[in-house]
Structure 1
Amino acid sequence: MEKPREWLREKSIAKKVLSQANVIFEVVDARIPQETRNKVVEQLAKERNKKLYIILNKADLVPKDFVEKAKKQISQEYPAIVFSAHKNIGKKELEKVIKELAKEKKIIKIGVLGYPNVGKSSLINTLKKKKVATTSPKPGMTRGEKLIRLDKNVYLIDTPGIITLEFQEDLALKGSWIPEKLEQPVEVAYKFIEKILQHRPQALREAYGIEPDEDPLKTLEKIGEKLNYRVSGGGVDLDRTAKKVLWDWIKGHIKAFWL
């Protein structure tokens, strides 16, 4: 299994940003907050004595009690802020944090780091109050780091998604890898459905109107039948179904979440 070759480049991006920034905003996906935390980034921040905040983005995709529980859990290690660029949740709290930080130093640079597709660009655009960063449901749309001026002495460092050491399959489960680029989309969708069956099977009922089977592969077949994705000869096109399920997860159509 191929580990992304980019990880060395990305680790060097992380190191570069961490050397330039006074503060780190690590953006995570509120649906799977613990899984989208990047331990390499956190470790590098700790070693360099940088203040780190964890931003639970996409909070509009999960119930309030779930995100509060996640925040409480993460707050034992780092200050956490619940945020949704889409629904304007947490913007005032974030602005207050930035204001407080700006009092501490003459120039403050905030490094915005996180996996592809956790919503770093949306966060930046919300704070800047205009579109300065590219947003797209496609993971990996930001290329190269950019310095964005927020206030007269406050800057944000926008970065491409930091992947570090992981397999493509793991990244796809985090919603951080384009399904079309996967060699084995069915295998990944199988693992993903397995997780949903474990944590919130009703998410599949809601998204596809099917009764999930305890066998992830049978569940995938049921989704393919429901969507009428067929190969010539009439069988279910599992490949196409798997990619569709993974895209639906990336786009927030499957309402699943877990800690």
Structure 2
Amino acid sequence: MEKPREWLREKSIAKKVLSDADVIFEIVDARIPFETRNSVIEQLAKERNKKLVIVMNKADLVPQWFARKVKKIIEKEFPVVLFSSHKNIGKREIDNLIKELSHKKKIIKIGVLGYPNVGKSSFINALKRKRVATTSPKPGMTRGEKLIKLYRNVYLIDTPGIITLEYQSDLALKCSWIPDKLEQPVEVAQKLIDRILRERPEALEETYGIEPDEEPLKTLEKIGKKLNYVISGGKIDLERAARKVLWDWIKGKIKAYWI
């Protein structure tokens, strides 16, 4: 039976960064903003009286009305910036915020925290205007903290993905776990498809050119058949189809989103 993943290392990193940093940028996935918010980080920031800004990354993957709606909700608790490193959304707003902060102290350290694969490294590279952090669609590519000089007196603290005590299957739905490492990819893909069927079923039609079924497993079978993932005896290779769906979700190919 699957056990929740231990996160002692991540918790110690989060606490250290929250102690060292003057400001925290919490990066979340704009498609699933509430699921990728880290309540532990936010609570620790409040306890330490640190300014926390939520950066809704991958804002280019959701409609503007959706992004604005989410922003309005979260702003009741924290400042929010809509951001996309690919479409150059929100960069000026972040730059202005950093400049404003940099006038207040001689040296400013900004901690960049969030779940694996929410785009922390892409965010840092966009601010730095060159590649200084490793980017990959594979969750968990950043190893250990790194101090990156942004301006004369401004430093960014890049960190590995910070996760709490959660199951691999739940992390996979947040794009924070590599599908190839899942023990039960078919079950996880069914959970994801079920959610998409409830929130935006047309996303599956757009991505795979199939008519989704009300049953997640039947929809997965249709996807496998469409992709010609067939094994001996003409059966659909459901595990291969499941991993494909989960990778497409991680890479932003399935245009679904929800609150």
Which TM bucket (shorter chain)? over 0.9
Aligned counterpart, 1:224:
224
Aligned counterpart, 2:241:
241
RMSD: 0.6
Query: How many Å separate the matches in 1 of 2:214 and 2:142?
Result: 38
1:179 Cα offset (Å): 0.2
Residue-by-residue CA offset, 1:125-147 (whole Å, 9 max, x unaligned): 01111110000111110000000
Query: How many Å separate the matches in 2 of 1:190 and 1:48?
Result: 40
Query: How many Å separate the matches in 2 of 1:254 and 1:37?
Result: 21
Secondary structure class of the residue paired with 1:139: coil
1:163 Cα offset (Å): 1.1
Query: How many Å separate the matches in 2 of 1:163 and 1:146?
Result: 18
Aligned counterpart, 1:56:
56
Matches within 5 A, 1:170-185: 170-185=170-185
Q: Structure 2: which amino acid aligns with 1:65?
A: W
1:27 Cα offset (Å): 0.2
Matches within 5 A, 1:21-32: 21-32=21-32
Give me the identity figure in percent.
Answer: 74
Q: Structure 2: which amino acid aligns with 1:189?
A: A
Query: How many Å separate the matches in 1 of 2:198 and 2:116?
Result: 25
1:257 Cα offset (Å): 0.3
Matches within 5 A, 1:38-57: 38-57=38-57
Aligned counterpart, 1:4:
5
Residue-by-residue CA offset, 1:181-224 (whole Å, 9 max, x unaligned): 00000010010001001100000000000111111111101101
The TM-score normalised by the length of structure 1 is 0.99
Q: Structure 2: which amino acid aligns with 1:3?
A: P
1:233 Cα offset (Å): 1.2
Q: Structure 1: which amino acid aligns with 2:99?
A: K
Secondary structure class of the residue paired with 1:104: coil
Query: How many Å separate the matches in 1 of 2:148 and 2:165?
Result: 28
Query: How many Å separate the matches in 2 of 1:44 and 1:182?
Result: 30
| Alignment length (residue pairs) | 258
Aligned counterpart, 1:67:
67
Q: Structure 1: which amino acid aligns with 2:234?
A: G
1:105 Cα offset (Å): 1.5
Matches within 5 A, 1:58-97: 58-97=58-97
1:164 Cα offset (Å): 1.7
Q: Say whether 1:105 aligns with 2:105.
A: yes
Query: How many Å separate the matches in 2 of 1:44 and 1:170?
Result: 23
Aligned counterpart, 2:14:
14
Aligned counterpart, 2:205:
205
Unpaired segments ≥5 residues, structure 1: none
Matches within 5 A, 1:132-151: 132-151=132-151
Query: How many Å separate the matches in 2 of 1:76 and 1:187?
Result: 36
Residue-by-residue CA offset, 1:71-120 (whole Å, 9 max, x unaligned): 11111110000000011100000000001111121211000000010000
Unpaired segments ≥5 residues, structure 2: none
Query: How many Å separate the matches in 2 of 1:87 and 1:68?
Result: 17
Query: How many Å separate the matches in 2 of 1:245 and 1:89?
Result: 27
Secondary structure class of the residue paired with 1:54: strand
Secondary structure class of the residue paired with 1:233: helix
